[in-house]
Amino acid sequence: MAALRNLALAIFTIAFLTFVVLFGRLPALRNTPIAFLHRAIWHRLPNAGHRLDQRLTGGRLSNAFAGLGNYLMHKKHPLVLFFYLGLLTACTTLFLHETYPRLSTRQLVPLLVLVPLPYLFAYHCAYHPPTAYGSYITPSNHSARMRDYPYDHILFRPGQLCRTCGLVKPARSKHCSICNVCVAKCDHHCIWVNNCLGRSNYKHFLLMLLSTGVAEYYGAYLAFVLLRPYLHLPASPSPASVFSRDTASRFLAMIVSATEAGGLSIAGVGLLAFYTAPLPLGLLAYHVYLIWAGMTTNESAKWADWREDMHDGVVFKARRSVALAADQDGARVWARGTAYEGNRPRPPTQANMHSPLRPQP
């Protein structure tokens, strides 16, 4: 019983720390306990370890770990992608090897769809399509990418040159230092797919998150169905009995017996799937919010920086009396705070009525 409790606690702790490490930098989580834990894991603990290592080994161990961390997080490599696919393959193989003879045809049919989908969408996220349709901005598709979106003259302004690529930056683009290329409608660089997410593969990333979460929950559901005969759950427990000490002891005993019956292949994989499924689905919910707000992760971070600077009093607003600007195609003209796209006027908003007096972040 104690071993099972420790196993469940370990899986939950690993899933929670994985969420903190990977998603603690999201702008929506700033000034929250998760952001505090993220800073503690990535900054405070390494700094404390570095000071201790300086006294013990002269900094050799901390330099080695810093180089490894820099390679994993800031270099283009497929190690994390292989880890994701390897873990998915190992858990699926263990689970199906034990459960296939015990599942009905109706339960097996959804697996024919759910199992291949994460691999398919991961491939489309990591794959570089032809230049004309891809997210990477090159001289051959630069003019087409310049016509994708108009400049907002706050985050993105016409005429700004990428110092690395030597091309004028299209609106909503960003130069990725890891991929060493400008990315159209750049969202972020994802180490899980070893590629930048942008104009061509962002939708596949969302589908990969959705398919992974659904597959995990379905696997947890199948594990519960197979182990339910060993649980001996009461048909309709009373509210008073649910919270009693005897009920808790019986519940743990039932979980132990189910775990012994299912083993690592069913109970272990089922618990891992149940605890880790909220990670991709939670990230998917955040990106759905970004889509609703009309932003990318990159743009959300920039707006968060503007809000903090405005709160600190280092950014000021100045009302435009007359401001004329246009992109390279002349599709958008700004005059007295009102934008026109072709012949359609757009109502003035705070974004186009005021201009922060600060260089572009």
Please report, in tens digits, the pLDDT of each residue of the chain (361 residues total): 455 566 667 777 877 887 787 777 777 777 788 888 888 887 888 888 888 888 888 888 888 888 887 888 788 889 999 999 999 999 999 999 989 999 999 999 999 999 999 999 999 999 877 776 788 999 989 999 999 999 988 888 888 899 999 999 999 999 999 999 999 999 999 999 999 999 999 999 999 999 999 999 999 999 989 888 776 655 555 554 444 556 556 656 666 666 666 677 888 888 889 888 998 999 999 999 999 999 999 999 888 877 777 777 776 665 544 334 444 444 343 333 333 333 333 433 444 434 343 444 4
Q: Exposed/middle/buried for 174, CB within 10 Å: 0-12, 13-18, 19+?
A: buried
The pLDDT assigned to 319 comes to 56
Question: In angstroms, rounded to a whole number, what is the distance separating the alpha carbons of residues 334 and 329?
Answer: 14
Q: Select from 150, 147, 199 the least CA-distant residue to 344.
A: 150
Long-range CB contacts for residues 29-34, cutoff 8 Å, separation at least 24: 30/304
Question: In sequence order, which residues have a C-beta less than 8 Å from that of residue 137 and are 6 or more positions away?
Answer: 145, 165, 167, 170, 173, 181, 182, 183, 184
Question: In angstroms, rounded to a whole number, what is the distance separating the alpha carbons of residues 39 and 284?
Answer: 23
Q: How far is CA 313 from CA 76, 103, 168, 320, 355, in A?
A: 38, 63, 31, 20, 15
Q: Is 190 a catalytic residue?
A: yes
The pLDDT assigned to 116 comes to 96
The pLDDT assigned to 248 comes to 57
Positive/negative CA dihedral, 32, 37, 40, 46: negative
Q: Select from 164, 225, 220, 274 the least CA-distant residue to 174.
A: 164
Positive/negative CA dihedral, 22, 118, 95, 107: positive
Q: Which residue has the tokens 């405070």?
A: 44
The pLDDT assigned to 314 comes to 72
Q: How far is CA 71 from CA 58, 75, 77, 80, 83, in A?
A: 22, 5, 8, 11, 15
Question: In sequence order, which residues have a C-beta less than 8 Å from that of residue 115 and are 6 or more positions away?
Answer: 92, 215
Q: Exposed/middle/buried for 215, CB within 10 Å: 0-12, 13-18, 19+?
A: buried
The pLDDT assigned to 175 comes to 94
The pLDDT assigned to 247 comes to 58
Read off the amino acid at residue 26. L
The pLDDT assigned to 173 comes to 94
- Pick the catalytic residue from 125, 182, 186, 190: 190
The pLDDT assigned to 257 comes to 64
| Stated pTM of the model | 0.74
